[in-house]
Structures are given as C-alpha cells and as structure tokens.
Structure 1
Amino acid sequence: MTVKNDTVEAAQAHPDTEQPYAELGLKDDEYAKIKSILGRRPTDAELTVYSVMWSEHCSYKSSKVHLRYFGETTTEEMASKILAGIGENAGVVDIGGGDAVTFRVESHNHPSFVEPYQGAATGVGGIVRDIMAMGARPIAVMDQLRFGPADAPDTGRVLPGVVHGIGGYGNSLGLPNIGGETVFDEAYAGNPLVNALCVGTLKVEDLKLAFASGTGNKVMLFGSRTGLDGIGGVSVLGSESFEEGAERKLPAVQVGDPFAEKVLIECCLELYQAGVVVGIQDLGGGGLACATSELAAAGDGGMRVNLDTVPLRAENMTAAEILASESQERMCAVVTPENVEKFEAICAKWDVICAEIGEVTDEKDRYVVVHNGETVIDAPPSTIDEGPVYERPFARPEWQDELQEYTPVERPADLKQALFDMVSSPALCSRDFITEQYDRYVRGNTVKAKYSDAGVLRINEENNRGVAISADASGRYTKLDPRTGARLALAEAYRNVAVTGARPVAVTNCLNFGSPENSDVMWQFREAVHGLADGAKELGIPVSGGNVSFYNQTGDTPILPTPVVGVLGVIEDVHDAIGHDLGSVSEPEVLVLLGETRDEFGGSIWQQITGGGLSGLPPQVDLADEERLADFFVGNNLVTAAHDLSEGGLAQAVAEMAFRYDGGVSLDLAGVHEDEFVALFSESASRVLVATTADRVDGVLERAAEFGVPAVRIGETTEGRELTFGGTTVNIDELKDAWKATLPDLFGHAVGANSVVE
C-alpha cells in the first residue's frame, strides 16, 4: 500500500484546502507567515515541519530576545576559553594539554510527567546524544529533579518511575551518575522537572559541529529505525501547559533502548576516528525534520532528502510522521561520497543500521524533501530553523512587593527537636533511596560522587587531570527575587566546584519557567537571565550553552521559576581533590567556618518546613566573595575536608559530615552569630565548613586572611558519638536514622526500593 502524499504540486493546485495548523500549535499569524514564505499554502509535511521547528521547545521564539544578553556580556577573554558555545549541541571547553570537555543540561519535564520511566530515560538518552554530536565520548551524567510534595499521591506515581528511568538508561549505557539534586515543593505538583546533564571528553582536534557543506556530500541516517513513537514529543509537549488528564498523552512520549545507544556511541567514536564525518547532528526533539533542516541551515548549500530510503519500523508512515517522529538512538551525518562505503562498513561492524537519505546540493537555502517519488517539501531551511522571534510583554508582578514583605520565622523552643525536624524533612533528608539506584563508579574514573558537593572525574589517565561538575537551583529564592535567585544558583554551583579544589571555568544552564504568554513569567525569565549573565561576567567564566523550558505549569499556575545552573571546573590532579568526610586522617580535626553568617531566612528550608510559606528576600550574595573562596581552595593542602553551606545552613553541613564519621563533633557557635538559632540554620551564601588538623589551623586562618575570607574556628571532632552545641547534646546515630528513614518510608513500596543499602 502506498501512502498518498499532500505534495507541493497539490498545494499549489488546491490553495484553499483547510489545514489543522492550530491543533499543531501554530497561531494564525504564524500560519500566515508560513504561507508568505512559501508563496502558497504548506503541504502536510511542510506544516508539520514548521509546527515542530517553530514550537517553543525547538525555536526559542520567546526567549531569543533575552538570551542574546549572554552574548552581550561575554568578553573576548571569556569567549577564548570555549571551543564551542551557545547555539551548538553542547558547550566545549579546552581544559589544557590537548584535552577538552563538553557538557550540557536539558529538560525532559512534560514527557516525564506523562510517562515517568520513558520520559526520564529518553531525557538521559537525548542529552547523551548531544554530547556525542560534539565528537566526544560521554563519560558521566547528572540529574536535577523537582517533584510535588513528597507525600502527594502523584509524586508517588512519578518519582519512582523517573528515578528508575534515569538509572535504567544511564546504568545500561555504562555511564556513572555523579550527582544531582532532588527537590519537593507544592509548586511542582502536576509539573515535575526532570533536567539531565551529561559530560563528555574529547581531544581538541576532534571537535565536531552540526553543519552540512560540500555539494554532493551525502546525508547518512544511522541508528535505530524510525517509528511512530514520540511524534510531537518534546517539541509539542514542551510547548504547552498541562491540563487535567495530560498524563494520558502517551503516544507523544518516546521509547528508549539504552543498549542500542551504547552501540551507537562506540560506532560514532569509530566513525570520528576514521575521519569520515564532515558534520554531525543528533536526532532528538523535532526528529529528522529538526536534524536535517538544522544541518542544511548551518551549511553553505542546500539539501535534498529522500524519505523513501529512511529505515522504518512501522508500515504506511506518512512523510509528516517520518519527519516528526522522535524515535530514539538516531544520528545524522554528512559524509563525502568517497567515504560512504567506509562509513557503511563501520556501521555494519557495530550492527548499526544506516542509510543514505539525501545529499548536499548547490541550491543555496533550498530544503527539498521527497517521499514516494513526489516532492512534499520545498522551503528555505533558514526559515524553518530560525523561526519567529517574539518580544513578549514583561512586567514586574503586582504581587512581588507583597511577597517580599518578610514574615519573621518562628524561633524553635527546642533546638534539638528543630535539628531532627530539619534533617528528616523531605527537603533535607538522605537521598540514598534515589542515588543507590544509580551506578556512580562504572568506567573507573569517578573520583568523587556520592556525598560530594560536586562530582569529580578523571579526564586524562596519564596526568590525572580532571574536572568537577555541579548543578544547582532554588525556585524559592528565584520566586522571591529572580535576579538574585539566579545569582545564588550560580554561586552555589561555583562554590560546590571550588570546594573540591577545582578552578571553575564554564557555565551551562537549563531555565525552567511557566508560560511565556504570562507577563509575570517573562519578567522572572528576563531577570534570571540578566542575573546569570551578569554573574558569569563578574566571575569571568563564560556561559557555554543552555536550554529553555517554558510552559511549566498546570492550568494557569506556573511552577516556581527554576534556573538550573551547572558549573564545570578543572583540577590539575584529581588525587588532590578535597572531599567532605570527616575522619580522613588519623588524628582529631578542627572545624573552621569560612564566610559570614547573617539573619537570612527568606525562602529558607526552615521557613518552608515550619509552615511559614514563602516570603521576604533570599540571602544576598556578593560573587567577589565566591571568587575569594575559590582562590582559597585551589592548591590548598591544609584542609582535610570541606563542605559548602546552602539549604539547611551550618546544622545540615555539620550533620552530613558527622553521619559518615565514627566519632562526634563539638561546636562553639559564639563566633558564628550571637543568636544560636541563626548560627545553626541561616542560609547565608558564600560559606564553607572546613576541617583541618590542629597543627594546620593557624595556616588555614592565615590563608583565609590572605584571600580576604572571614574565618572562625567553631569546633572539633570528639571520640563520643554525639553532636554538642551550647547546652544541647544530640545522638548522631539517632539523627542519622531519622535522616535516612524519610524517603524509604514514603517510597519503599516502589520499584528499586530493595536497592537501598546501608
């Protein structure tokens, strides 16, 4: 049976045929613009391609205006540090000695709500292919997760599937999961955030880019067959808000096969090594339509694609379905004619299906697609790839002033009970239930992962050069003050990298916000972009790329604005990486707090768990203080452990360090703050708790003074299994049990529960 196509010829002959452009997400004016570009109505295939490529997810049509600010604030010195930046599949950083690292974080939010396992799994698969498309070997993943209340029924449905999907796909690929974050908040009920990060390594000279050049060069599609799964997946799901019943949109969610992707990774690396790839693009959101039109738009000629040669796994697929399918584990390469045979041989060696589906033409800016011998698309690829640019209205919300009116938090009558309440809350409790479902040490180059502020990886096995990566965000802080919230996310990720001893060198981001058609949301977005861009400039590290995810809301209620910020740092010898476990030396340790503690509880975890809602201003941050901390840690051989202070403040940092130590800790909080409660639970920025030995304390204090970092000795380790402060004594094992029990009690019935270990 032959599929009947709506051809270019038919579109010209029947200009008045009604088309379902609104159902595909196009506005009236967008449809009119497409007709103006083509000089006729679009064919069904053209309509599909434009609707996919002009979706919010693919076109960035509402965010482009503001994202340009990253370029405006990037100095020549900052730009010189990156080999590939904004606009590429992933940022690439030269880390020295001929080694380069690529990293990127991307959202898969809506698919993960609809079908948690496959949504999260294919989110991992998609970000891994972004890294592959840069010519790199993927070496690790991370995840940033946001869910509704931990005890909500729908969280019980979504979280286990998401975690199982991330672990199932990443573990099967043989990629260590080196860190992440899990947050629970009412704002994410019905719209969880699943942001996946991947890191890859390559030699500088092996960098690959996505472009199609050279008339006569062949377009090769390789990997899995193209099916009906994922049609309109992230491109459509990621461009609309959720209403009741959205969890039933299963056909739009892709289905992943990690074992096929594992083989595809090795196949790609051999193709690169053989020198047979001119340009490369992964197939993710937008499928073949996105990959081929982007390659054509970035090239120096045109492109002709023949869908009749695309390997399919479903019968009677239309041109529109073939182009829009988001079937996983597929890549598209541009290859010179003389290398096609070699390309095919390498694919055959790895049992990877490949097909020649088109070629680069000398018809500049013409993208022609043929199906069943008939032309179904004839359009300028630049108009498909670029899409419209909107200057959405934005305005500071009328409710912002009232939100920022601080309601003083309730002081606890019992600090011991307050500590138990904090560490056992879903906000701060152990994430072992989640992280024990991930393999953290596969490949053998993971230096720091579990219970580390940042994941640390060995990149070069000859000289032990490595990298540290962290990603952070606080939607609560950002809701209170979007500009400061983004700066705080940058500061925390930067600090998490710095405390390992690595020098921060580059930034990536995933900006998760509500509907861009809401002027409040667009104001939040603009403020966050400016805060992040200005902050990166102050720190002198470039934003190498990022992702925008809009329409994160249920009905008219947007999520907390959540700019996830990732920072990459370089450490010359991973053997010098600093951990945060007490007891790494055989002698007692002294604790020193770096940074100033202020009475700052706006947006804090204490405010959240005590029913104080959300009000006030977030902690203030001076990024110069973060730079001074980084300077303090680079090349520092005086400290035995270090842990940044963030959510939960000093109390949480001390508890987490004490849990993995077989002794106790005695604290003297007098030098931290006059109010013991503030000293314990304030979330002031730019603070780190370090441990050292008695003979090195003076050296630590002198080094802190040299770099202008406030420092005060606040305690020491003890032989007993107790944490003491003021007149309060806490049994550490009881505190640890409370910390560990929360998530297993909530989700222990779910898949993967048996994988939790002591």
Structure 2
Amino acid sequence: MTLDTTKHAAQTPDTAQPWAELGLKQDEYERIRAILGRRPTGAELAMYSVMWSEHCSYKSSKVHLRQFGEKAPETDALLVGIGENAGVVDVGQGYAVTFKVESHNHPSYVEPYQGAATGVGGIVRDILAMGARPVAVMDPLRFGAADHPDTKRVLPGVVAGIGGYGNCLGLPNIGGEVVFDACYQGNPLVNALCVGVMKHEDIHLAKASGTGNKVILYGARTGGDGIGGVSVLASETFDDSKPTKRPAVQVGDPFQEKLLIECTLEIFKEDLVEGIQDLGGAGLSCATSELASAGSGGMRVELDTVPLRDSSLSPEEILMSESQERMCAIVTPEKADRFLEICEKWDVIATVIGEVTDGERLEIFWHGEQIVDVPPRTVAHEGPVYERPYARPDWQDTLQADDAGKLPRPATGDELREQVLRVISAPNQASKSWVTDQYDRFVQGNTVLAQPEDSGMVRVDEETGLGVAVATDGNGRFAKLDPYAGAQLALAESYRNVAASGAKPLAISNCLNFGSPEDPAVMWQFAEATRGLADGCQTLGTPVTGGNVSLYNQTGETAIHPTPVVAVLGVIDDVARRTPMAFAEEGQLLYLLGDTAEELGGSAWSQVIHDHLGGLPPKVDLERERLLAEILISASRDGMVDAAHDLSDGGLIQAVTESCLRGGKGARIVVPDGTDPFVLLFSESAGRAVVSVPRSEEIRFNDMCGARGLPATRIGVVDGETIDVQGQFSIPLAELREPYEATIPGLLA
C-alpha cells in the first residue's frame, strides 16, 4: 500500500476520502482542500476531522461565547483568561489558583468507569499544564431517572471511576452534585473540575517558540484506545444505528498520571520548559497544532519516533489517539538532557519527537516521508464558525403558562408534614453520602470543608491559613423554563454557596451542557443561557476564566434539559474563620436572610409531589445576591454567625433539615405572622440563606443587616432533637434521618 504523502496527495487529487465517516461536512472538506491547494493526505484529514469536531473547535458556540470576553468585568484578580488550558486567578500573598470544569459525558455513558476516570485525568492534566500542583477535584453529575434500570449501570460505574482515579492520585474530592432526571436517560452528564495552586512566577502557557527547540512527548505510550475518542464521540447525537460514532473510550492509569504529575512539577521547578500542553481530546493532533499555532514559528515532527503500545497503529491512528497520561513540552536544546534525566528518574517515558522551525508550517514525517504539511492555525484556531439558526420554541409559552401555583397544596399540618418527608427523601434531595463516601475528601490534609457543605474549601498556605472555596451548581429544570434566568440562577447559587462558607467569590468556570446545535430550539436555549451568564458575571464582577461546551447531549430527537453548570471560585484570608452549615449549638437564633415569595416553578416540591415542570423559575436579583454575599462574608469574618446554609433546591425546610442533621441538633421554627407556612417551607426564591446567630451577636448582626438594607427575619432557635414548625407539625431528627440516608442505597441495591 502506497504511503499517502503530501506529494502523493498532490498527484492524486481524485482519490476518494472518508471525510463524512470522520464527521466532516462536504463544505468543510472542500475548505480543507482550498487551504492546502490539494486534497489532504489521510493524516491531514485525520487531524482536521478531530480538531474541527464540535468538541474541539466550538464551531457552533464560538459566536455566543465571545460575550464572555466582550462583557468581562474589570478585575485585577484575573492573571490568565479564556484561551489557555485553564484560567488563573490571583488569590493574594503571591499565590495563584487555576481551575476549570470540563465534560466527559458521552464516553461515560458508553463505558462508565473509564469514561469518568479519564475525565478526571484529563482535567487534572489541564491544571498541571498551567504550572500548578493539582490540589482538589469536584464532579457535578447528572443521571437519568433514579429508578431506571440503566441508572444502576451508569451511576455506580461513574462513581467508581471518579473515586478510583482521584483517590489513586491522592487528590481530595471536595464537592459537586448528583442530580436525577429522566431527561438525562441515555445521556448522563459527567463534568469534572480540578483546582491547582502555584506561585505567580510559575505560570506556564501552551506555545512553541524558539527555532531549534525540542518537542518532547512524555508520559504513557500511545495506544489504540480512544482513537477518535471524545473529539468524535462528543460531536454527534447518540444514535444506535451509527456504531462508528462510538469509538473506543480512553483507558486511564492513575498511577502513571501520578508519576507524570510529580515529574512535571520537578521539571517546572528547574525551569526546563518553554511551553507545555497536555494531550487530551484529539491527542497529538491537538498538542502539536495548538503549540505551533500559539508559537512564533513552525514545527517538524517525526511521527515514527512516538512510543507505541501497539506497533500496528497507522499514522492517522497515532495522530487521533486519545491515550491518556501524556504531555508535550517545548524544551531548549541545552536543557533537553536534564529534562530527559528527570523523566527517567520518575520512570516516565520521554522522547524527542521533533523541533520548532523558523517556518510557518506544521510538518509531520513518517519514516522520512512527509505526511502532513499544514498551516497550524487552520487546524487549531481557524476552524469553521457557524452562526446556527436559533428560534424560541413554540412550546416555550405553553410551558411557562403551566404555572406551578395551580397545583394542589397541603391543607393541614399533617399533610404538610407528610410532604416534607417525601421531598427530603426524594433522590435529588436525599443524602448523597453513598456517592461521596467512595471519594477521599481529606487526603493531603488541607481540606477544611467538603461535601455536603455548601462549598468545598482547601487551605493554600499553612502559615497564614489562606484558602480557596469552590462550588458548582446548575438547575436544568429552571433553565428549561427560562434559559436566560436559569443560567443566572446557576451562577447566583454557586456564588451564594461560596459566600455562605465565608469566602469572597472571584471568578467562574463553566460547563455548558446542551442538546444538538442543529436544532434551532436548542440553539436558542444555548444563546439565551450564554447571554444570561455573561450578563450575570458582568453584574457580579466575576469574570469567566474558561470552561467547556458540551453539545449533542441527546438521544435521537430528545434533548436533555439545558444544563449550564457554573463553578465559582472564592478566596478566604483564613480558613479557621470558615462558616460550616451544621447547627451545632443549642440556643442559637435562626435568621432567614432575604425575601421569600411564592415561587414554585421548577421547584423540588412540584417535581416530587406532582411530577410537574412548568411556570417560571424564581426571579433573579443579582444586586441582592451581591449584598447577601457581603453580609455572609462579613458575618463569617467577624464571628457573628456559627453556621450558614444557602436556600435552593427544596427551599427553607430542606436547608434546615440538612443543617440540623449535619449538626445533630433540632430546631424550632416560628412561622411569621401573615406568612403561608407552605410557601415559607417550600418556596425556592433566590437570594436567601439561613444562619445561626449566637445570642451575644444578635444585636450586632441585626444592626449590620439593617444598615445595609438586607431583610433578616428571626424564624426560630436551635433546640432539641426535633424539627418543630410551630402550629403545623414536628418531626424527630431520627425519623428524618432514616429516609434521608436510605434513599440512594435503596435505589442501587
């Protein structure tokens, strides 16, 4: 068989090529031919196909994502923004923190364990590539109906993969979410977040500059697992009639990754690299083209020098393979020997596979024959940009008109009590300890808050107590009712969760999970959610540092609910002053902060009691969110509150139940005059939190809230071993705890 070299391609313009099978459209294939002035070689076609995939190129979302830059708030905290492997934020004292959230959705449905495990591995390498030591991970998860048989296949595998990989790396898993909804049946969402810490001077970027500098591939050998991988798998709707869209899922080796982390950190410490890139989606195609594109010259690569696990792999397969635990570094010739020495010390395979040239082309050779000759920017950064048509769906008005306020409500205290028990023991509200107990949350000894707290928090500096808090949130039901408001509610809840722990929110990362961009209704949802998020970040002063778009999350014609997941990172000067969620001291006073309105659209109550989704989501008031956050942070810093918990899914009764069970103390709740007990307990109005205030701090706390104009209503006291809503019902904590903790294990038994 003749090797498909660039010369051969120029001489055989009419050779049929499998561009459609590789996921390219005809006009995209014609554009590649126009760029090159000839037909592409098989290797070039492979590179363009994975790099121009939806997952890698953002071709359907770019036009909307620009708002994150155009509307970015001014802040001195942002050190590295959108466009690099991950964003970097200044947290003070010379420290910088990098964080990012990404998706591994489709691979985790095909092979739950490896799909989820390699999702963790990939996001950890993104953080490592910035120059940081990874210090914590989080996982926002969405599964199908809790009682569906396939959920029993997917959920345990995903959780085992996350725990198995993260635990072996020695990284604490400090937060995330587990949400069940039938819309995710056949298309679970497995999003992964990692946080890393470094000094300002340790930041590294992905670029290849300096003629003659060496291109070194190091880490695991390249195998046949994940050929096409996430780059193809995440770029088209699941359809059982197209098995070609289900390529092999990557296989992870956390012990190899651990060696890679320590090896890379030592390389950074000795200042041996000019540029670095991890190998994730699109593998070598991505690493070589992005490094060359971001640099000042070209690149020449000898592909046959790449260490392989399978000697039968073709050049195309090597370029498309998404084998895990691999990195690519640009190293000056005088430092190359030391680089290789450190790799050998850590038992990490390292190979010089090429060098930076003074040209403008990415050239790849196979046994001396040129098989790739492309302008690297056309591969990495100048792919197709689609302005997909979008339109508000016809059914949106009908959905919003189907108001949850018309649903039958409990008429007596006994009925209210029964519905409280049903809501707090429903899969979405019940304890997730079956999941989180499989994760090591405290390894490394710097975790100070972890699930089920409002946000995860880790100490950055032992001497001063400097720390960072991170929360992830996203409510697909709210976003289905109103994508613009739904995205802002996700931002607001995550922002509020960080503030509730005492940390000041600084920046966000996001993972935007939606259906097919070829559906104008889905594209409208995406456009509205992106606009809402950009506007919200501008108002709150929290820039978007980066993230991920995951499209084609649907099976056949059925799309998931639009699910923008928002991660907010905050800083706290001293983790010793953090605020936990547990009510732990009897006699402390309970205050409800914020205003409660009759807002039940998309609520847990409407879902659990009536299986209903309709109406409008809670109203968003971002200025109120900012004020609430300032109060929570000040109260934490000045010792005015001993516990705080945000109000979101399930409303006040859910928050009080969680704080009581966490602290092992009951509460007496007084319904304010003129207030409907049902609305007080189940409304999901935003911009609210419940706090426990020591009696000695009550006057000072009230004065602060009053001076700043935040409504603060005394609603009860921490007391006994029962939640007693006076005049309505009482439930012993033991009676609450049993169904709350038994639901998830019972479903998976």
Q: With structure 2 as the length reference, what TM-score do the two structures score?
A: 0.97
Distance 1:417 1:131, change over 3 A: same
Q: Give the alignment partner of residue 350 of structure 1, picking from 331, 346, 350.
A: 346
Distance 1:417 1:320, change over 3 A: same
User: % of aligned pairs identical?
Assistant: 60
Spell out the pairing of 1:98-247 with structure 2 (5 A cutoff).
Answer: 98-244=94-240
* 1:616-655 Cα distance to aligned partner (Å, 9 max, x none): 1100010001110111122321001000000000000010
Question: Matches of 1:738 and 1:237 in 2, distance apart?
Answer: 39
Indicate the SS of the match to 1:94: strand
CA contact (8 A) 1:113 1:247 kept: no
Residue 720 of structure 1: how far off its partner (Å): 4.0
Spell out the pairing of 1:379-398 with structure 2 (5 A cutoff).
Answer: 379-386=374-381, 387-398=383-394
Q: Residue 559 of structure 2 corresponds to which residue in structure 1?
A: 558
Question: Matches of 1:495 and 1:737 in 2, distance apart?
Answer: 29
CA contact (8 A) 2:127 2:134 kept: yes
Q: Residue 28 of structure 1 corresponds to which residue in structure 2?
A: 26
Question: Matches of 1:249 and 1:164 in 2, distance apart?
Answer: 25
* 1:692-730 Cα distance to aligned partner (Å, 9 max, x none): 122222222211112221110000122344433323111
Question: Matches of 2:663 and 2:472 in 1, distance apart?
Answer: 26
Q: Residue 68 of structure 1 corresponds to which residue in structure 2?
A: 66
* 1:108-163 Cα distance to aligned partner (Å, 9 max, x none): 00000000000000000000000001000000000010010000011111000000
Q: Residue 48 of structure 2 corresponds to which residue in structure 1?
A: 50
Q: Residue 669 of structure 1 corresponds to which residue in structure 2?
A: 671
* 1:217-275 Cα distance to aligned partner (Å, 9 max, x none): 01000000000000011100010101237799764200000000011000000000011
Does residue 408 of structure 2 align to residue 402 of structure 1?
Answer: no
Matched to 2:67, the amino acid is Y
Q: Residue 686 of structure 1 corresponds to which residue in structure 2?
A: 687
Question: Matches of 2:581 and 2:670 in 1, distance apart?
Answer: 20
Question: Matches of 1:272 and 1:650 in 2, distance apart?
Answer: 48
Q: Residue 316 of structure 2 corresponds to which residue in structure 1?
A: 320
Q: Residue 629 of structure 1 corresponds to which residue in structure 2?
A: 628
Distance 1:164 1:481, change over 3 A: same
Indicate the SS of the match to 2:663: coil
Q: Residue 530 of structure 2 corresponds to which residue in structure 1?
A: 529
Question: Matches of 1:94 and 1:718 in 2, distance apart?
Answer: 42
CA contact (8 A) 1:302 1:367 kept: yes
CA contact (8 A) 1:662 1:721 kept: no
Q: Residue 521 of structure 2 corresponds to which residue in structure 1?
A: 520
CA contact (8 A) 2:236 2:245 kept: no
Question: Matches of 2:459 and 2:575 in 1, distance apart?
Answer: 6
Instruction: Figure out how many residues of one structure are paired with residues of the other and give that number.
Output: 740
Indicate the SS of the match to 2:153: helix
* 1:520-563 Cα distance to aligned partner (Å, 9 max, x none): 11111111111001100101111111110000000011100000
Q: Residue 329 of structure 1 corresponds to which residue in structure 2?
A: 325
CA contact (8 A) 2:282 2:321 kept: yes
Distance 1:727 1:479, change over 3 A: closer
Indicate the SS of the match to 2:196: strand
Question: Matches of 1:244 and 1:36 in 2, distance apart?
Answer: 34
Matched to 2:641, the amino acid is V
* 1:369-422 Cα distance to aligned partner (Å, 9 max, x none): 001221110010010012111111011111111111033222024011001100
Matched to 1:652, the amino acid is Q
Question: Matches of 2:221 and 2:742 in 1, distance apart?
Answer: 44
Deviates more, 1:244-253 or 1:163-172: 244-253
Which runs of 5 or more structure 1 residues have no equivalent in the other structure? 749-758
Q: Residue 727 of structure 1 corresponds to which residue in structure 2?
A: 728
Matched to 1:632, the amino acid is I
Does residue 439 of structure 2 align to residue 445 of structure 1?
Answer: no
CA contact (8 A) 2:427 2:744 kept: yes
Indicate the SS of the match to 1:244: coil
Question: Matches of 1:169 and 1:148 in 2, distance apart?
Answer: 23
Distance 1:86 1:603, change over 3 A: same
Q: Residue 753 of structure 1 corresponds to which residue in structure 2?
A: none
Indicate the SS of the match to 1:635: helix
Matched to 2:32, the amino acid is I
Question: Matches of 1:528 and 1:484 in 2, distance apart?
Answer: 8
CA contact (8 A) 1:667 1:726 kept: no
Q: Residue 39 of structure 1 corresponds to which residue in structure 2?
A: 37
Matched to 1:651, the amino acid is I
Question: Matches of 2:552 and 2:452 in 1, distance apart?
Answer: 33
Q: Residue 751 of structure 1 corresponds to which residue in structure 2?
A: none
Indicate the SS of the match to 1:377: strand
CA contact (8 A) 2:671 2:725 kept: no
Question: Matches of 1:320 and 1:389 in 2, distance apart?
Answer: 25
Spell out the pairing of 1:673-752 with structure 2 (5 A cutoff).
Answer: 674-748=675-749
Spell out the pairing of 1:424-573 with structure 2 (5 A cutoff).
Answer: 424-573=425-574
CA contact (8 A) 1:131 1:138 kept: yes
Q: With structure 1 as the length reference, what TM-score do the two structures score?
A: 0.96
Matched to 1:617, the amino acid is L
CA contact (8 A) 2:422 2:609 kept: no
Q: Give the alignment partner of residue 655 of structure 1, picking from 650, 654, 657.
A: 657
Question: Matches of 1:533 and 1:430 in 2, distance apart?
Answer: 33
Question: Matches of 1:227 and 1:679 in 2, distance apart?
Answer: 58
Residue 13 of structure 1: how far off its partner (Å): 1.4
Question: Matches of 2:695 and 2:118 in 1, distance apart?
Answer: 50
CA contact (8 A) 1:723 1:732 kept: no
Residue 450 of structure 1: how far off its partner (Å): 2.6
Does residue 606 of structure 2 align to residue 607 of structure 1?
Answer: yes
Question: Matches of 2:719 and 2:165 in 1, distance apart?
Answer: 43
Matched to 1:590, the amino acid is L
Question: Matches of 1:739 and 1:296 in 2, distance apart?
Answer: 53
Question: Matches of 2:621 and 2:721 in 1, distance apart?
Answer: 38
Matched to 2:22, the amino acid is L
Does residue 86 of structure 2 align to residue 90 of structure 1?
Answer: yes
Deviates more, 1:639-648 or 1:410-419: 410-419
Indicate the SS of the match to 1:706: helix
Deviates more, 1:250-259 or 1:391-400: 250-259
* 1:305-333 Cα distance to aligned partner (Å, 9 max, x none): 11111000001211111111000000000
Question: Matches of 2:524 and 2:574 in 1, distance apart?
Answer: 43
CA contact (8 A) 2:423 2:609 kept: no
Question: Matches of 1:473 and 1:173 in 2, distance apart?
Answer: 27
Residue 202 of structure 1: how far off its partner (Å): 0.4
Q: Residue 595 of structure 1 corresponds to which residue in structure 2?
A: 594
Q: Residue 281 of structure 2 corresponds to which residue in structure 1?
A: 285
Matched to 1:744, the amino acid is P
Question: Matches of 2:282 and 2:682 in 1, distance apart?
Answer: 46
Indicate the SS of the match to 2:509: strand
Question: Matches of 1:491 and 1:144 in 2, distance apart?
Answer: 16
Which runs of 5 or more structure 2 residues have no equivalent in the other structure? none
Residue 733 of structure 1: how far off its partner (Å): 0.6
CA contact (8 A) 1:57 1:239 kept: yes
Question: Matches of 2:691 and 2:723 in 1, distance apart?
Answer: 19
Question: Matches of 2:242 and 2:648 in 1, distance apart?
Answer: 35
Q: CA RMSD for the aligned pairs? A: 1.3
* 1:86-128 Cα distance to aligned partner (Å, 9 max, x none): 0110010011111000000000000000000000000000000
Indicate the SS of the match to 1:505: strand
